[in-house]
Amino acid sequence: MNIRSIATRLAGGLAAVLLSLPVSLPGAQAQGRFPDRTITIIVPFAAGGPTDVVARQLGEAMGRDLGVSVVSENVTGAGGTIGGQRVAQARSDGYTLLLGNIGVATAPSLYRNLPYDVLKSFDTVGLITPVPMTLVARPNIPAANLPELVAWLKRPGAEVNIGHAGLGSASHLCATLLRSLLQTPMTPIAFRGTAPIMTELMAGRLDLTCDQTTNTVPYIQDNRVRAFATTTDQRLAALPNLPTAAEGGLPGLTVTVWHGFYVPAGTPRPVIDRLSQALRTALADEKVVTRFAELATTPEPADRATPEAHRALLEAEVARWRPIIQSAGEYAD
């Protein structure tokens, strides 16, 4: 057999082997051995803030279950929508997640030119934690409880300011809801994050804010700010002496800053299921449970940390907040 014949037979054999191998499309590859590299959680708010704290706690725990590093990247701006756009435009392979809070559901109403469709651009992975909010004020405000505070806010000629961390932030939504319920004017003041809000409250230069327990609990416990109510149905274990807004006469002031993981639309379902499984494992992790308790919140139960439960809540919250925001007439664009 000459060299040409040998080469021909080898080439034919190689071609037969190649043809027998399965075709590995990007989606199929991700399904077959996901994950095999670092996963990035996009946090659309500043480092050190409430959402960032949640992301870093979960990233470590999920990484142990997935067998890869799970890192956080803060992509801030425009009430969280810049980070949202980054994920909406990312590859649908499960390696880029968005950790969004309630602001994901309010963005369609706040931003009239939102560069993505919340209900079409993302697939849901699962709910993470429902963080309560607290209504707090400067320590020298002339009110001892919520009814007295409401009376002070509604007094004739009152000039009251209320701080928030930017349009679309949880603190802005809570402030908007409070103003809507009381039907009384307050001057909203936007800050770059929650830390300067607490500084201004403690100094007595800001009257009120409504923010997540992940930020306010240490200040309340140290009596550096005055707390009037929690926006939950039940009192908080971390703040047992703090009444609910309903107990204080404002049953409509109910806001829970729920958090959830999103991936770009079109991500293969087996990849979503693997991420959802890792999320549920992380939420049961003792370190995560303990840390969340310190922040006056709890992990979502397993039946809530699913794509289906997450999608149902997202759709309901988009519908709930639309009339509230439209009534306030405050838009971010």
- Provide the pLDDT for residue 7: 43
Q: In Å, what is the CA distance from 303 to each residue of 100, 209, 255, 262, 326? A: 19, 33, 21, 17, 33
**Listed residue (275, 279, 283, 281) closest to 35, CA to CA:** 275
Instruction: Determine how β-strand 122-137 pairs with β-strand 70-74.
Output: unpaired
Here the tokens at position 90 are: 């990312």
| Domain segments of the chain as ranges | 34-131+257-328, 132-230
> Would you give the DSSP letter of residue 192?
S
- Provide the pLDDT for residue 267: 98
Range 132-230: architecture per CATH = 3-Layer(aba) Sandwich (3.40)
- Provide the pLDDT for residue 329: 82
pLDDT tens string for the chain (333 positions)? 544 444 445 444 444 433 333 333 344 344 458 999 999 999 998 887 778 888 999 999 999 999 999 999 999 888 789 999 999 999 999 999 999 999 899 999 999 899 999 999 999 999 999 988 999 999 999 999 999 999 999 999 999 999 998 877 889 889 999 998 999 989 999 998 788 999 999 999 999 999 988 889 999 999 999 999 999 999 998 899 999 999 999 999 999 889 999 999 999 999 999 999 999 999 999 999 998 888 778 999 999 999 999 999 999 999 998 998 888 887 887
Radius of gyration of the chain, Cα coordinates, nearest whole angstrom = 24
Here the tokens at position 115 are: 């560069």
Q: Give yes or no for a contact between 73 and 42, defined as CB atoms under 8 angstroms apart.
A: yes
Q: Give yes or no for a contact between 197 and 211, defined as CB atoms under 8 angstroms apart.
A: yes
Which residue type, as a one-letter code, is found at position 18? L
* 34-131+257-328 shares its CATH topology with 132-230: yes
Opening angle at CA 217, ends 260 and 58, nearest 5: 30
Q: Which CATH class is domain 34-131+257-328?
A: alpha beta
Helix axes 170-182, 103-110, angle to 10 degrees: 70
